Amino acid sequence: MPIKPVDIEELTSKAKNVHEAIVAMSRRARQINEETKIEFNQRVEMFAPKTESENEENDVNPDQLKVSLEFEKRPKPTDVALDELLHEKLQWRYKEPEETLKVEKDDETAESADEE
């Protein structure tokens, strides 16, 4: 797999800074990976043998192999997330300050209740 250089200036033009872009891409890549994993498991379960024995462990189901190879050919989640960011298909937002203040206040109340 060849290395693909990424223009840092292009990343910073899509976000406030490089770190923000990387965090947004990494979170999106995790989402994509989780979706892919769920899809893969659902498709493989259709071909899973109903009975398992020690002798059948070495047998490879051709349908499962075909599905596995199909998923291996797909682009990596990080590549998809990077493309989404560069083509402005990736959007993110910050937590509202009120939400974070509420969480902090709840934590303080819980701590004071624990001390009593």
Model confidence over 34-70: pLDDT tens digits? 999 999 999 988 877 655 555 555 677 888 889 999 9
Segment (H or E) for 53: none
Which residue did the predictor score with more confidence, 2 or 116?
A: 2
pLDDT greater than 70 at residue 107: no
pLDDT greater than 90 at residue 84: yes
pLDDT greater than 90 at residue 23: yes
Which residue did the predictor score with more confidence, 53 or 6?
A: 6
Cβ proximity of 40 and 84 under 8 Å: no
Helices (H), 1-116: 8-14, 18-47, 62-73, 77-86, 97-115
Q: Report how far residue 16's alpha carbon sits from residue 20's, in angstroms, rounded to the nearest whole number.
A: 7
pLDDT greater than 70 at residue 111: no
- Residue boundaries of the structural domains of the chain: 8-50+59-115
